[in-house]
Structure 1
Amino acid sequence: MQKSAKGTNQQKVDKVIVIGTSAGGLNAIIKLIGQLKKGFQAPILIVQHMSADTTGNILLNALNEQGNFICKHATTGAKLINGHIYLAPSDHHLMIDKDKKILVTKGAQENKSRPAIDPLFRSAAVTFANRIIGITLTGYLDDGTSGMIAIKRCGGTCVVQDPNDAEYPDMPKNVLNQIKADYCLPIAEMGPLLYKLLSEPSGNKKPIPKDIITEYKIATRVLSDLPAVNSLGDQVPFNCPGCGGVLWKVDKDKGSLLRYRCHTGHAYTSKSLLTEQTKKIEETMWTALRMFEERKNLLTTMAKSQTGAAAKSAMERAVLSQIHIDRIRAILLSDDKDAANDIAS
């Protein structure tokens, strides 16, 4: 009775699967998980970008309705179990701790996201090394790319959705631009591939690079100090959009991916940093437009209530304010396709 109670899915966790997705991810994940049967011999951890005010229950309920997995929102300290799916809760990062249990934190955003994909992928790479399968699916921008690089450097297997099969191809394309993925294929072919990969021996374990361990510790809040960030790269003349602190350029990805970190834990790829800068510029310009309009209205009122030189001076300054208003409005309302791409999310 004791052996029977444990069941197939209570066997030792040998390999783990981590999945990252953003826009279009709901349908993609449902389609992928639908190919897998009961008794699946690995736990699956999923990060899907979502806003802080959502629950993620739509995906949770859809996966539970399929009936082949036990799907739940991840909770800190939970033990990984084969045949279970763990979803990142909204506004929280999902990771695996050093004891190979689940860790859920409200740490600093990465790539302007919480939950973010990179912390999960990086933590899984540190704890499972070559016994991890990382999957990047449809989505905007490039969250997950650094995590896939970490998985690759630790000897894990990298699987990428064929961009031609993805509803939003940016995330898969960015991974493929940075690493030689082990597999790039449509979602419809991923189910059989996962069974194949789980049946294969893992081979020899590689040493985990120190910089990946450092970033893992920063994300888990064990280590977040200046010496740690200094070990990852050099300071650059940019400010962190999240906290206003100094940024460091991370030089350890062994590729062309530009990434930045601040000492409090915020992290950005160059694309996500550009996105945040663009948003800040736009916010500042709208504020400036409002202030110039208020200034013009006040000067116009003063000109009407005064006479002589004072009235003339006020009107001249009102006209000058209108010139600034027209210039700012022209910039804000221009069809700037590059700026529009910057703030895509």
Structure 2
Amino acid sequence: MSQAHRDLIVVGASAGGVEALRALVAGLPADLPAAVAVVLHMPLGGASALAAILRRSGALPAVFAQSGMPLTRGQVHVAPPDHHLLVVENRFALSHGPTENGHRPAVDALFRSAAIALGPRVTGVVLSGVLDDGVAGVVAIRARGGRVAVQDPADALHPGMPENALRHVRPELVLPAADLGPALAKLAREHVELSSATPASPQMEQEEQEERIVRDWRVTMGTGTHMIGETSEYTCPDCSGVLNEIAPGTLRFRCQIGHAWSVEALAQAQGDAFEKALWTALRTLEEKVRLSERMAEAARARGDGRQAGRYQSRLDESLRAVDVLRDFLLSGGEPVPAEESGATSGDPTS
């Protein structure tokens, strides 16, 4: 039987992740017998100094990954901005494919590709972040015989990602970030039987199809291969296309373009879209107020009292709507009592 070490550590983090990554990297020894790949969720279009930060944080060199770069043991490979970092056989690949949970690079894209490429040789690490990013990835790693480590939620600045990972898998390690480095180094020295990978399953086939969508998106676009799962009643926040549920009961979705969403990320994005629509409505109402003021003034100037009254009524109605909507937005989305907003039960804006 062919043997190997657990020689790839894939790490995912989001909000609060820089601090956790620095603590983890500080604990990794210079003779680490594994390559490390890191995805930190960041705004699209932004620059990143993460490689330099991690290089100064510990004994290992840290570089931005490039397509075709080999998995180098004892080195940290950082996903560059606006590109998915993937593992293909024993090399890294970069992709500008569809976002996952609104992110590129995305934690799940790295974890899933690593699991497919290297199976039991992979250890997945989930650090600080909100929502449920990384869950699908660690499930894929575990299904193929890999190991999972999670930052102790009590140690994370944002415990959402660690807590969600713990709900779906039983990890080998649950530790503060500062203690994960030595523990991961010990895991990396474990021998694994490459034949220990779990036999193929429908879930694995879907994961492999998702990996192809992200990696070969230029080839698969328009071929119908993006259409996996069953049509849902939801729409994609990124492109407004129909979302398919990847498999019944998974609460994971992917649209025709290829954008992927977990249920928590989808709910968050829909909430953001709703708030954006409300702010747009507020701006439109305020413009209506200013326009009604000018129209009323013009009507009074030409002695047309009837028209001036109509415009003034429109102005008053718009002002009441502005007050209600602004109070709602500034209250964080909590309904404002009618007596505080100035609206009455007979007011069409109440």
Q: TM-score, normalised by structure 2?
A: 0.85
Partner of 1:88: 79
Determine if contact 2:81/2:105 at 8 Å carries over to the other structure: yes
What is the CA deviation profile of residues 129-165 of structure 1, one whole-angstrom value per residue up to 9, with x for unaligned ones? 1111000011122211111111112221111111112
Q: Secondary structure at the match of 2:181?
A: helix
What is the CA deviation profile of residues 34-59 of structure 1, one whole-angstrom value per residue up to 9, with x for unaligned ones? 222222211110001223354332x3
Q: Which has the larger displacement, 310-319 or 220-229?
A: 220-229
Say whether residues 1:322 and 2:319 are aligned partners.
Answer: yes
What is the CA deviation profile of residues 94-141 of structure 1, one whole-angstrom value per residue up to 9, with x for unaligned ones? 1112x3211111222111111110000000010011111000011122
Say whether residues 1:76 and 2:67 are aligned partners.
Answer: yes
Match among 184, 205, 215 for residue 210 of structure 2: 215
Match among 43, 49, 56 for residue 41 of structure 2: 49
C-alpha separation between the residues in 1 aligned to 2:38 and 2:210?
A: 20
Say whether residues 1:24 and 2:16 are aligned partners.
Answer: yes
What is the CA deviation profile of residues 59-117 of structure 1, one whole-angstrom value per residue up to 9, with x for unaligned ones? 322333356323210000111121121000011111112x3211111222111111110
Say whether residues 1:280 and 2:273 are aligned partners.
Answer: yes
C-alpha separation between the residues in 2 aligned to 1:67 and 1:277?
A: 40
C-alpha separation between the residues in 2 aligned to 1:105 and 1:229?
A: 16
Report deviation, 1:257. Answer: 5.3
CA separation of 1:304 and 1:194: change in aligned 2, threshold 3 A: closer
Say whether residues 1:296 and 2:289 are aligned partners.
Answer: yes
What is the CA deviation profile of residues 8-42 of structure 1, one whole-angstrom value per residue up to 9, with x for unaligned ones? xxxx9863110001122222222222222222211
C-alpha separation between the residues in 2 aligned to 1:35 and 1:296?
A: 60
Partner of 1:132: 122
What is the CA deviation profile of residues 228-247 of structure 1, one whole-angstrom value per residue up to 9, with x for unaligned ones? 3443x211222211112111
Determine if contact 2:82/2:96 at 8 Å carries over to the other structure: yes
CA separation of 1:280 and 1:67: change in aligned 2, threshold 3 A: closer
C-alpha separation between the residues in 1 aligned to 2:107 and 2:71?
A: 18
CA separation of 1:194 and 1:293: change in aligned 2, threshold 3 A: closer
Match among 25, 50, 53 for residue 62 of structure 1: 53
CA separation of 1:134 and 1:331: change in aligned 2, threshold 3 A: same
Q: Secondary structure at the match of 1:143?
A: coil
C-alpha separation between the residues in 1 aligned to 2:80 and 2:313?
A: 57
What is the CA deviation profile of residues 239-262 of structure 1, one whole-angstrom value per residue up to 9, with x for unaligned ones? 21111211111226xxx6522111
Determine if contact 1:217/1:224 at 8 Å carries over to the other structure: no
Q: Which runs of 4+ in 1 moved over 6 A?
A: none
Q: Secondary structure at the match of 2:321?
A: helix
Say whether residues 1:310 and 2:302 are aligned partners.
Answer: no
Say whether residues 1:164 and 2:154 are aligned partners.
Answer: yes
Partner of 1:117: 107
C-alpha separation between the residues in 1 aligned to 2:172 and 2:334?
A: 34
Q: How many residues align?
A: 321
Q: Which has the larger displacement, 190-199 or 69-78?
A: 190-199
Letter in 2 for 1:228: T
Partner of 2:97: 107
Q: Secondary structure at the match of 1:167?
A: coil
Partner of 1:3: none
Letter in 2 for 1:49: H
Determine if contact 1:46/1:87 at 8 Å carries over to the other structure: yes
Q: Secondary structure at the match of 1:202?
A: strand
C-alpha separation between the residues in 2 aligned to 1:303 and 1:107?
A: 53
Q: Which has the larger displacement, 64-73 or 17-26?
A: 64-73
Unaligned runs of 5+ in 2: 336-350
Report deviation, 1:190. Answer: 2.0
Unaligned runs of 5+ in 1: 1-11, 339-345
C-alpha separation between the residues in 2 aligned to 1:67 and 1:329?
A: 49
C-alpha separation between the residues in 2 aligned to 1:330 and 1:67?
A: 49
CA separation of 1:309 and 1:124: change in aligned 2, threshold 3 A: same
Letter in 2 for 1:75: Q
CA separation of 1:314 and 1:45: change in aligned 2, threshold 3 A: same
Report deviation, 1:212. Answer: 0.9
C-alpha separation between the residues in 2 aligned to 1:80 and 1:52?
A: 26
C-alpha separation between the residues in 2 aligned to 1:135 and 1:127?
A: 17
Q: TM-score, normalised by structure 1?
A: 0.86
Q: Calculate percent identity across the aligned residue pairs.
A: 35
Partner of 2:339: none
Determine if contact 1:13/1:82 at 8 Å carries over to the other structure: no
C-alpha separation between the residues in 2 aligned to 1:138 and 1:81?
A: 25
CA RMSD between the two structures:
2.2
Match among 318, 330, 341 for residue 333 of structure 1: 330
Partner of 2:133: 143
Letter in 2 for 1:82: R
Q: Which has the larger displacement, 187-196 or 234-243?
A: 187-196
